[in-house]
Amino acid sequence: MRSQRITVFPDVTNLPLRPPAVLAKAAASLDLLSGGRVELGLGAGSITPAIKSIGGPVRTAGESVSALEEAIQVIRLMWSGERGVHFDGRFYQLDGVNTGPVPMHPIGIWLGAYKPRMLGLVGRLADGWVPSLGYLKPEDMAEANARIDEAARQAGRDPSAIRRVINIGHDLNAEQFAELAIEHGFDTFMVSQDLMDHIAGEVAPKVRELVAAARGAD
């Protein structure tokens, strides 16, 4: 509450453990309290035994993607401020709910996605893509971006409007960071706390120089 610029961003929320309508209300409330500084990261769900052990629904991989698509619709309906809203999905339902609160700003929905159906969902419905380096291999980035872009175009969306953020859990040099930005379109890097001082103080300035030089050459 004392900060002015820090954004709250779950990276990412395990959807099977959180009803999307309730999650939407929590995110909107926090957005109002923080003055519009909340974004929402969503994952279809992983570590099935852990989900089952706490009473969450056990779904196949395909069902998890379908449930996530429904959840995105439910969340956005809950942010609409409308009254008497209905949604009749396979996994989630709304039965005449009075929605709200309405967020202070348009909260972005970001998806942790790697496989074709999830990447297509990013392109069709999400505001951003937030994979983790390691799970996403450098050699797979071009194809993954292409799938997102094609899905966006087919949905009548501008692919460039979908932001690309990547989690990085180990040290990289400036050239590697710059390649992620220049070649693959990642505009933000999320790094672990133990790397933050080194990257912010030594690596980031060089990355900015490399990216600026490359884009200036274009």
In tens, the pLDDT along 176-211 reads 999 999 999 999 999 988 888 888 889 999 999 999
In the CATH scheme, what is the homologous superfamily, with its name and number, of domain 13-168?
Luciferase-like domain (3.20.20.30)
Tell me the pLDDT tens digit for each residue of 70-90: 999 999 999 999 999 999 999
H-helix or E-strand spanning residue 88: strand 85-88
What are the structural domain ranges in the chain? 13-168
Residue 46: band (very low, low, confident or very high) from pLDDT cuts 50, 70, 90: confident
Report the pLDDT value the prediction gives residue 170, as an integer from 0 to 100: 85
**Placement of tokens 């194809």 in the chain:** 143
Mean of pLDDT over the chain: 94
Rounded Cα distance between 188 and 29, Å, is: 26
Report the pLDDT value the prediction gives residue 218, as an integer from 0 to 100: 57
Report the pLDDT value the prediction gives residue 27, as an integer from 0 to 100: 98
SS3 3: coil
H-helix or E-strand spanning residue 61: helix 61-78
Report the pLDDT value the prediction gives residue 98, as an integer from 0 to 100: 97
**Placement of tokens 């956005």 in the chain:** 76
Is the model more confident about 170 or about 184?
184
